[in-house]
Structure 1
Amino acid sequence: MNSIQIALQIILMFFVLVSLHEFGHLYFAKRAGILVREFAIGFGPKLFSYKRGETRYTLRLLPIGGFARMAGEDPEILQVATGQTVGIRLKDNKITELHTDRFERLPNLLVGEIEDFDLEERLFVVLQVDGESHRFAVDPKAEIISQGKETQIAPKDRQFGGKTVLQRFLTILAGPVMNVLLAFVLFLIYALSAGIPTHIKLGQVEAGSPAAKADLKQGDVILSVNGEAIGPNGDRLVELIQQSSGQPVQLILNRGGEQLQKEVTPVQMGETVRIGTALGYETRRTQAGEAITNAWKDMTFMTEQILAGFKKLVIGDFKMDDLAGPVGTVKFTAEIASAGVAPMIRWSALLSLYLAIFNLLPIPALDGSRLVFLIIEALRGKPVDPNRESLVHFIGFAMLMLLMIAVTYNDILRLFQG
C-alpha cells in the first residue's frame, strides 16, 4: 500500500471517529432545542467553513479533536449596550437584524439609540428614534451583526443551561456513546471479515532458521504437534515449542491437500525459543451469531486493557515511552494500515473505544467532568456557579494541552532516534 493510500486511510479514520462523537452532541442538543453555534472538526485556524440553518460547520487546522459549541455553555457575550446607536431591521413588527456598525450604508434600517433591552428572556428593545421611545419585540432567531459577523441571539430556552438536567446529561453523554456504538460496529465488521480460525497456518519462514532447515513452507497448515491436535490454539503451539529447546518436535502438516510429517528442533533465538516462522490462521466464514459474540468479546477485552492502562497512569506505574501523542498514534496507525484493511478496521475500533472511555473520565474539560457537574447539580438542586465550572474546565484543558505537548515532543524524539 502506498503512502498516499495510508495517509487517506488515517485522515478518514480521524474524521469518522471525531465527527461521529461530535454528531452525538449535535443531534441530542438539537433534539433538546439547544442552539448549536458551531460544529467543528479540529482546533485552531479555520480551513473550511459553511453555515447551514443555525449552525456553522467548520474544518480546522489541528487534527486533535473537535467540538459542538452550544449557546450558554459559556456566558453569553452581548455585543449591544444601553446608550449604543444601532440599526434594526423589522419583519412583522419584530426585530430580525440588529446592526452595531456600518448601518449608515444599509438601506431600510431604522437607526436609534438603545434605552433598554432584554435579548434572553423578555426579548425586547426600547429604541429612541428622533427623540421618541419605541418598544420593539425581538424575533427569537434575530441576528446581531457586528463588523460583518452575524451572531444569532440565544434566548434562555435555547441555551444549554436553560434545559433540564436530563436533557443536558444526554447531550453530553451522546458523544462517548456514539464512539462505543461505532467501536462495536467496527469490531463486528472485523469479525465478519477476519473469519473464524480453524487451524494455525505458517507465515514467512526465516532463512537459515530451524523451520527452513526442516523444509517448512509458508502456507503449511499445522494439524498436530507431538501427536497433540493443535487446532487454532496458537498459545498452546508456542508453549510446546518453548518447552522443547534443543529437542526434536514432530509436526503433522497439511500442504496443498497432502499430509506431511516433519521434524523441527526449536532453538534459542534472542530472548525466546523459536523455530523461525511467523504464525497465521486458516479461517472459515463467520456466521452472524458468531460475529456478534466475537465482536462483544473483543470489545470487552479491549475495554479491560484500556482501563488497566488508565489505572497505571493513576498510580504512576508508567514511563513516558508508554504514552503516545498525535505523532506516535499516526506513526503506529500507518504501520497497521500497511498491514491491510482488516487490521486497520480493528485498530479504528480500538481507537473509537479508547476515545469514548477517555472522554468519560472525570478530568476537567472532558465529557466525564461535565457529567459530574450535572450529577452534583441534580443532587444539590441547583447548578454550580457557571464561572467556577468554566474555570475548572479551562484549567483542565490547559493541563491536557501541556501533557499533549510533552508527549508529542517525546514522540518526535523517538521518531528521530528510530
Structure 2
Amino acid sequence: MSTVIAFIVIFGALVFFHELGHLIFAKRAGILCREFAIGFGPKIFSHKKNETIYTIRLLPIGGFVRMAWEDPEMVEIKPGHRIGLILDQVGQITKIILNNKEKFPNARVIEVESADIEHELKIVGYVDGEDDHLQTFSIAREAVLVEDGIETQIAPFDRQFASKTLGQRTMAIFAGPFFNFVLAFIVFVIIAFLQGVPSSEPILGKITDDGTAIKAGLKEGDIVHSIDGTEITSWTDVVEMIRKNPNKELEFSIERNGKTQDISVTPESTEVDGEKIGLIGVYSPVEKSPLKAISYGFKETYFWTKEIFLMLGKLVTGEFSIDALSGPVGIYKSTDTVAKSGIYYLMKWAGILSINLGIMNLLPIPALDGGRLMFFAVEALRGKPIDRQKEGMVHFIGFALLMLLMLVVTWNDIQRFFL
C-alpha cells in the first residue's frame, strides 16, 4: 500500500506541475482555460474557480489543460434557430439558452437572423410577441451558452489560443516541460537542504554502528591528514585508500579538537561487481548551506538531464532496444524498489522522473508538446500557421502510435516483472 501511495503522489506531482506550467502561461497570455485536469476518463472530483474547472479524473495516466480553440469551440447558432436570451440590467446577453427554454421563464425567445459570438459579440433576431422588426443584442464577454442544462463560457476570439502571438503560444506549450525541470530542481534543493551537500574535504561524516571505524575509535568530524604515511587532501583520497586495502591495517593520522593522533583501522573486505574492496563504515561529510543546496540543485538537474539525453542517443543508435523502455508498470516496480531505501532516495527518484517527463514531452513527436513546438517552428519559417485540420490529423496519428507503443511497453513490463 505504501508503494501505491508513493507512486500516486509522485506521478500526481509530476503531472500537476507539468499542467500547472501550461495553465500559468496560458492565463498570462489571456487565453481562456476551460479545464485543468489530472488524469483522463470520467471525473471523480471537480471544482470551478473563476472561469476554470479543476478536475481529477479516474485514470491517473496524465493530464491536460483545455484551452479555448483547441477543441471545437461552440455550437454554431444559425439563422432560423430559436434561442432564449437572459439579459443583465444594461441589456447585455449573459446567457444564451440553446434548448429546454421552458426551464427559463424569464428568457426572451428570439428567432435568430444572424449571430457572432467570437468577433462582433452580437445576436440579431426577431423577439417573440414583440413588433415584427429586427433587434440587435450585444453579448457580454463572460456570457455562457446553456445546452442540456450545462453552461459553457463563450470565448471571444482574443481569448482563444489561436489569436495569440507565436511567442505566447510557444511559451504556453513549452512551460509544461519546463516546469518539470523546475520541479526536479526544487526537489534536489530540498534534499540538499535537509540532508546536506557532499563535501570534498577529508573529514569523516556519519559513522555506522557496525563498521570497523567505530570499533577503532574514529568519530564523526575527525579530519584525516594522512593514511599509512600518504598525505590526504580530499575525501576522494580517503575513499581510494580504504577501497584499495581490504583486510589490511591502515594507520590514520587524524585531527580531533585541535589535537593530532594516530588510529589503526582495518577495512572489511566486501565484493562489489566481482572485485574485492575495503569498507570501514563511514559516510562522506556533508555541508548544510542554502547556497550550496541551490548549487547542488542545478548540478543534479544538469547531470540527470545529460544522462537521459545520452540514454536516448543510445536508443536511437540501437545500443538499447525497445525492450529497455519502461511504462507505468515498470515505473511502479522501480518505485517499489527505491521506496525501500528511504525517503531521500524516493525524492531523488521523483526528481529524475520529472526530468525524464520534461525531456520526453519536448521530443518532436506529434501529440506531444515537442510535436506542437515543431509545428510552431514551421509556422515561424513559413510566416503562417499550418492548416488546423492537417495539423490535427498528424497529432491524431501520433497519439494513436504513442498509445500502441505504450501498450507494447506495458506488456513487456508485465512479462518482465510478473510472468
TM class by shorter chain equals: 0.7 to 0.9
> Is the aligned partner of 1:232 residue 2:235?
yes
Partner of 1:141: 142
Deviations 1:157-192 (A, max 9, x none): 110000111111121122222222222122112222
Does the CA-based 8 Å contact 2:34-2:53 persist in structure 1?
A: yes
- Structure 1 unaligned regions, length at least 5: 206-210
Answer whether contact 1:95 1:138 (CA < 8 A) is retained.
yes
Q: State the secondary structure of the residue aligned to 1:318.
A: coil
Give the letter for the 1:44 counterpart: G
Letter in 1 for 2:276: V
Q: Does structure 2 conserve the Cα–Cα contact (< 8 Å) formed by 1:199 and 1:282?
A: yes
Query: Any idea what the Cα deviations from partners look like across 1:360-396, whole Å, max 9, x if unmatched?
Result: 2211112222222222222322111111111122222
Letter in 2 for 1:357: I
Task: Report how far residue 272 of structure 1 moved.
Answer: 3.3
Q: Which residue of 2 aligns with 1:413?
A: 415
The question of 1:271 aligning with 2:269 is answered no
| Offset from partner CA, 1:315-351 (integer Å, 9 cap, x none) | 2321344211112112212322332222222222222
Return the alpha-carbon distance in structure 1 between the equivalents of residues 396 and 241 of structure 2: 52
Q: Is residue 56 of structure 2 the alignment partner of residue 53 of structure 1?
A: no
Measured in 2, the distance between the counterparts of 1:220 and 1:397 equals 58
Match in the other structure for 2:31 = 34
Match for residue 61 of structure 2? 64
Deviations 1:181-239 (A, max 9, x none): 2221221122222323444777697xxxxx99x9979x9889676654495339x8479
- For 1:264 and 1:341, locate their aligned partners in 2 and report how far apart those are by CA, in whole Å: 29
Gaps of 5+ in 2: none
Indicate if the aligned counterparts of 1:169 and 1:371 stay in contact, CA closer than 8 A.
Answer: yes
Match of 1:388 in 2: 390
Q: Secondary structure at the match of 2:366?
A: coil
Q: Partner residue of 1:119?
A: 117
Matched, 1:99 2:97: yes
Match of 1:294 in 2: 296
Deviation (angstroms), 1:79: 5.1
Cα distance change of structure 1 residues 279 and 58 upon mapping to structure 2, 3 Å threshold: farther
Q: CA deviation at 1:39?
A: 0.5
Q: Give the TM-score, by structure 1 length.
A: 0.84
**% of aligned pairs identical?**
42
Q: TM-score, normalised by structure 2?
A: 0.84
1:185 matched to 2:182: no
SS at match of 1:128: strand
- Offset of residue 106 of structure 1: 1.9
**Distance verdict in 2 for CA 1:267–1:373, change over 3 Å:** closer
- On the 8 A contact 1:184/1:295 being kept in 2, the answer is yes
The 5 Å alignment of 1:19-418 reads: 19-78=16-75, 80-91=77-88, 92-130=90-128, 132-195=133-196, 196-197=198-199, 198-199=203-204, 228=230, 229=232, 232-233=235-236, 237=239, 241=243, 249-252=248-251, 260-263=263-266, 266=269, 271-274=274-277, 281-417=283-419
Q: Distance in 1 between matches of 2:307 and 2:276?
A: 27
Shift of 1:40: 0.5
CA distances 1:275-319 after superposition (whole Å, capped 9, x unpaired): 6x6966143332233223322222221111011111122223213
Q: Which amino acid aligns with 1:145?
A: V
- The DSSP-based 3-state class of the residue aligned with 1:281 is coil
Structure 2 vs 1, CA of residues 71 and 287 (structure 1 numbering), >3 Å: closer, same or farther? same
The amino acid that maps onto 2:397 is I
Give, in whole Å, the separation in 2 of the partners of 1:233 and 1:359: 38
Q: CA deviation at 1:128?
A: 2.8
Report the AA paired with residue 383 of structure 1. P
**Cα 1:110–1:267, aligned 2, differ >3 Å: closer, same or farther?**
closer
Aligned length: 402
Q: State the secondary structure of the residue aligned to 2:332.
A: helix
Output the CA distance in 1 between the equivalents of 2:241 and 2:101.
81
Per the alignment, in what secondary structure is the counterpart of residue 292 of structure 2? helix
* 2:44 alignment partner AA: L
Matched residue of 1:317: which SS? Answer: coil
**Backbone CA RMSD of aligned residues:** 3.3
